[in-house]
Amino acid sequence: MKRLALAALIGAGLMGCAAEPVQLQHNRSYILEWIGERPLMDYSHLTITLGDDGRAYGNGGCNHWFAPYTLEGHRLSFGKIGSTRKLCAPALMEQETRFLQALEKVERWDISPIEQMRFWPAQGKPLRWWLEEG
């Protein structure tokens, strides 16, 4: 009888956890892991923060970037993206350009089965993010 009660208690606890969906968080930084079909170059650090004021910003690997965004449920889109104008190594600049172009095409977001944030374009593979620790 004790085993049955314990199993029921554990099951109820797990159902409670499963019922709470992971949400996209404002004013928290996410770190990019993949741009579409390609992982990031080693040691590059691309980030995004979605401010609760409707402005997104982050680091593109070389330059800081910023843009307005609209978030309605699982629909997500970015307005015109601006950035600083530093010059870095050609490979890093190419990656930053791919990232900013991919960000402009985002239409929706979701959470993967491994709780990774994904920003999806109309066609193709997503931008994949992890919540920055700390």
- Domains parsed from the chain with CATH numbers: 28-131 (2.40.128.270)
Q: Give the separation between CA 95 and CA 47, rounded to whole angstroms.
A: 13
- Between 41 and 107, the higher pLDDT residue: 107
Check residue 133 and give its pLDDT.
Answer: 85
| Distance between CA atoms of residues 128 and 59, nearest Å | 15
In which element (H, E) is residue 7 found? Answer: helix 2-19
By the 8 A CB rule, do 110 and 118 touch?
A: yes
Express each pLDDT in 70-112 by its tens digit: 999 999 999 999 999 999 999 999 999 999 999 999 999 999 9
Query: Tokens representing 66?
Result: 């910023």
**How far apart (Å, rounded) are the C-alpha atoms in residues 111 and 67?**
22
Q: Indicate the Cα dihedral angle 24, 29, 32, 33, nearest 10°.
A: -80
CA torsion angle 131 63 50 99 (round to 10): -70
Please name which of 97, 96, 131, 91 lies closest in space to residue 115, comparing C-alpha atoms: 131
What's the sign of the alpha-carbon dihedral 67, 36, 106, 73?
negative
Residue 7 has pLDDT above 50, yes or no: no
